[in-house]
Amino acid sequence: MPAGDLDPVAVIANGLSLTFGSGPEVTPALEGIDLTILRGEFVSLIGPSGCGKTTLLRAIADLERPTGGTLVVNGLTPELARRQRAYGYVFQAPALYPWRNVERNVMLPLEIMGLSRAERRERAQRNLQLVGLSDVARRFPWQLSGGMQQRVSIARALSFEPSLLLMDEPFGALDEITRDGLNLHLHELWRTTGMTTVFVTHSIPEAVYLSTRIVVMSPRPGRIVEVIDCDLGAERPLEIRDTPEFTAIGSRVRHALHAGTPHA
Amino acid sequence: MREALRRTLPVIVVVAALLAVWYAAALVVDAPQGALAEKRPLLPTPQQVAGALLAGILQPPTSPRSLIYHAGVTAASAAAGFALAFVLGIGLAIAIVNVRLLDRSLMPWIIASQTVPALAVAPMVVVVLGNIGLTGLVPKALIAAWLSFFPIVTSMVAGLRSPERIQLDLLRTYSAGGWDVFAQLRWPASMSFLFPGMKVAATLAVVGAIVAELPTGAQAGLGARLLAASYYGQTLQLWAALVMASLLAVVVVGVVDGARGVLVRVRGGRL
């Protein structure tokens, strides 16, 4: 996608709204979303349940249709961007196919995109190495822990080298220690690849640790309350979470969350 | 060793109890005739049935008294019927899952087809097909398929519909086409539903083949053997043919389980 590579903007939302259902059953999920995501950014969407953070991510991925406003992904409509395979998507659950071993799960998008056998194998190995799972390539998903399964799904999302990585609470179901390890890993991955990432979470420390910018959202209908810069530099060991800078950003996010949900 | 005993002991106990009840019943039923050694006991004892079964099996396979020969004839119609049911059942399931209209228009007929007793339909099928020159294997296979395709359709429809939203969304993010959704997701996901359905279908194909042999005046097959034996009051032959039919069903189910085992191995230990 030559045009997309030159364009410094990855995603633009302008007055974006999205409602589910119709008639009296209508539920507004997103309202008046204005957001610009630049290439190379790591942007977290944070907010309580029902704030539309997942819906916004799914709209970017063309898994939901906005009902108002405009949304541009890589200079294209979300549908065209999806057709060009502009993004890799990591779901809340690993969504691995149990009948495929780890390597063949990573190769799934490559098969669909018609890459040669040698190319598929090479890319699967490279991306499994990237997430530190080369040694389990022949195992099956049910033989891996939840954290390893989610790393496989990240390798799968990276395998076709999309320009955008969309992650929907990928570590939400994992325990704290596994989650710390994966956060460290994901940060390294982002630093080495420089891949534009949109990351949905409801964990404040996770958002502060990973992001360059944090988008705080509020529920009913989903709106953006505040966008907070998170300038902790490129080097982020886990201990950075004990620094005053980290705590300060965390408390700004917390205040914005509380301001956005007065009844919570 | 102890583990093996723990697993086999309940089976042995149940079989022993059944044999004991059977034996006692045979003694009571046949007592008026005083006829444990009789050729036509009302209720033969287990060892009489076993003897008749063994005698039938040990006949040269070309003999009309050979149970292997008759089982082979029945197995051929059952296998042909099952193959037909497999193709038809999976084809229908794919059509039903892909075309919403067919789901509503076809499914009631498929269910209705199973409420018609095969025993009533079998003679009609045989006569009608006989009039257009189709005799022998074809009508029997059709009746076997009639019974057999239903569990394949229903299990396959459920299997093809089993993928979760997230697995479908995943393929959408790859902008995968309809063929990929079928070949990479729906089809492989349906296998764990298909095999239990196929097991039922395989035994029904045997039942269907036997039922089809009853009204056709067939000279060969376990159904013909059952009919002839009951007509002439040959209870030993009757029981031997019955046991042979259930052995055939065991073999057929074993074949399906074997195919399942191959797939499980390919999939690293789980279906």
Task: Read off the CATH number of the domain in which B243 is found.
Answer: 1.10.3720.10
Among chain B residues, the shortest Cα distance to A141 is held by B268
Is A78 in the same domain as A104?
A: no
Q: Is the pLDDT of residue B215 over 90?
A: no
User: A137-146, A219-228, B28-37, B184-193: which range is least confident on average?
Assistant: B28-37
Is A41 in the same domain as A139?
A: no
Residue B24 domain flag = no
Is residue A44 within 8 Å of A21, Cβ to Cβ? Answer: no
The nearest CA of chain B is from the CA of A263 a distance in Å of 32
Among chain B residues, the shortest Cα distance to A158 is held by B174
Place of tokens 């490559």: A110
The predicted-structure confidence for B235-266, as pLDDT tens digits, reads as follows 888 999 999 999 999 999 999 999 999 999 99
At B192, is the pLDDT very low, low, confident or very high (cuts 50, 70, 90)?
A: very high
Chain B positions touching A108 (Cβ under 8 A) are 174, 184
pLDDT at A263: 58
Residue B1 domain flag = no
Tell me the residue range of the domain where A27 lies. 2-86+163-260
Is residue B179 within 8 Å of B256, Cβ to Cβ? Answer: no
CB contact under 8 A, A63 and B172: yes
Rama region for B116: left / alpha / beta (φ>0; ψ in -120 to 50; rest): beta
Q: Is the pLDDT of residue B38 over 70?
A: no
The predicted-structure confidence for B78-89, as pLDDT tens digits, reads as follows 999 999 999 999
Count of the separate structural domains present in chain B: 1
Is A206 in the same domain as A126?
A: no
Residue that is last in its domain, among A136, A161, A186: A161
Residue B9 domain flag = no
pTM: 0.85
Is A197 in the same domain as A156?
A: no
CB-closest option in A82, A99, A143 to B188: A99
Q: Is the pLDDT of residue B76 over 70?
A: yes
Comparing A103 with B270, which gets the higher pLDDT?
A: A103
User: Which helix (H) or strand (E) is A233 found in, with range?
Assistant: none
Q: Is the pLDDT of residue A84 over 50?
A: yes
Is A155 in the same domain as A211?
A: no
pLDDT at B42: 81
pLDDT at A181: 87
Round to whole Å and give the CA distance between A130 and A122.
12
Q: Is the pLDDT of residue A11 over 90?
A: yes
Round to whole Å and give the CA distance between A255 and B110.
61
CB contact under 8 A, B173 and A101: no
Residue B8 domain flag = no
Residue B17 domain flag = no
Is A79 in the same domain as A200?
A: yes
Round to whole Å and give the CA distance between B24 and B36.
12
pLDDT at B190: 96
At A3, is the pLDDT very low, low, confident or very high (cuts 50, 70, 90)?
A: very low
Is residue B97 within 8 Å of B160, Cβ to Cβ? Answer: yes
Q: Is the dihedral of CA B183, B176, B265, B11 positive or negative?
A: negative
Residue B255 domain flag = yes
Is A202 in the same domain as A234?
A: yes
Residue that is last in its domain, among A161, A183, A207: A161
Q: Is the pLDDT of residue B39 over 80?
A: no
Is A122 in the same domain as A43?
A: no
Residue B6 domain flag = no
pLDDT at A4: 44
Tell me the residue range of the domain where B205 lies. 47-58+66-266
Round to whole Å and give the CA distance between B138 and B47.
37
> H-type helices in chain B, by residue range?
2-30, 46-58, 67-98, 100-115, 118-131, 137-160, 165-173, 178-180, 187-213, 222-231, 235-266
Count of the separate structural domains present in chain A: 2
CB-closest option in B164, B174, B268 to A112: B174
Residue that is last in its domain, among A112, A142, A161: A161
Is A40 in the same domain as A132?
A: no
The predicted-structure confidence for A54-63, as pLDDT tens digits, reads as follows 999 999 999 9
Is A156 in the same domain as A172?
A: no
CB-closest option in B167, B175, B268 to A85: B175
pLDDT at A39: 92
Compute CA distances A96 → A92, A148, B167, B261, whole Å.
Answer: 12, 11, 8, 22
pLDDT at B34: 59
At A138, is the pLDDT very low, low, confident or very high (cuts 50, 70, 90)?
A: very high
The predicted-structure confidence for A208-240, as pLDDT tens digits, reads as follows 999 999 999 988 888 999 999 988 888 888 888
Chain A positions touching B189 (Cβ under 8 A) are 99
Is A151 in the same domain as A171?
A: no
Is A255 in the same domain as A182?
A: yes
Residue B15 domain flag = no
Percent of chain A past pLDDT 90, that is, above it, reads: 65
